[in-house]
Amino acid sequence: MSIDFFLPDTQSTEALAEALAQTLPERAVVFLHGELGAGKSTLARALLRALGVTGPIKSPTYALVERYPLDGGGAEAVHLDLYRIAGVDELEFLGLGDLASARLWLVEWPEKGGKALPAADLQIHLTVEGEGRRAELRANSQSARDWLVRFSKIAGLTGSS
Ligand SMILES: Nc1ncnc2c1ncn2[C@@H]1O[C@H](COP(=O)(O)OP(=O)(O)OP(=O)(O)O)[C@@H](O)[C@H]1O
Ligand SMILES: [Mg+2]
């Protein structure tokens, strides 16, 4: 199952993130695909904000991973940017096993993570289209298919499936 949207501006990216956050499943691994400047970090940041992260949201470009507590119940979101990773070894060095129980994974440049990453529930492909962006949301698991069904009921965006 996949859904496709045109996002004319960053506000519509934020609206997409808001609707994804409101319908978030118990656990989700989200891969953010797209060239440099496609809007992956904008979407990741908006999603973290929509989930109630109030402190600074740093780009994980150098640290590779940033972790954020969600609500009071010990849940966690992790944001990875693997653009600068030298090799898959470096990921193993980071100890991703430690992150396994995170409620939400947001991974930019997942292509560089290979088998060290958990499987994606949802893949979001972003492409530059004129002044805006196109987003394609692809569900790879039952939980993500259910997510997209909930999401499409509330998303105030016009899309096609
Ligand atoms: N829907 C949108 N419409 C127009 N501009 C957008 C949209 N989403 C993001 N942008 C703009 O695109 C630029 C790049 O965004 P962003 O840093 O999120 O890209 P990225 O995919 O994370 O890039 P990188 O691979 O370099 O980390 C920013 O200036 C951002 O404001
Ligand atoms: Mg980025």
105 has pLDDT over 50: yes
Per-residue pLDDT, 89:
79
Residue 140: its pLDDT value, please?
98
User: What tokens does 48 get?
Assistant: 């973290």
Q: Is the pLDDT of residue 15 over 50?
A: yes
Ligand 1 pocket test: which of 16, 36, 41 has the largest number of ligand atoms within 8 Å of its C-beta? 41
- pLDDT surpasses 80 at 88: no
**40-50 and 10-22 helices cross at what angle (nearest 10)?**
50
Query: How much is the pTM?
Result: 0.94
Q: Which CATH class is domain 2-155?
A: alpha beta
Q: Ligand 2 centroid vs 37 CA: distance in angstroms?
A: 7
Contact criterion met (CB below 8 Å) for 66 and 57: yes
Domain ranges of the chain: 2-155
Measured by CA distance, the residue closest to atom 13 of ligand 1 is: 37
* CA 49/CA 28 separation, integer angstroms: 17
Average pLDDT, the chain: 91
**pLDDT at 158 (0 to 100):** 54
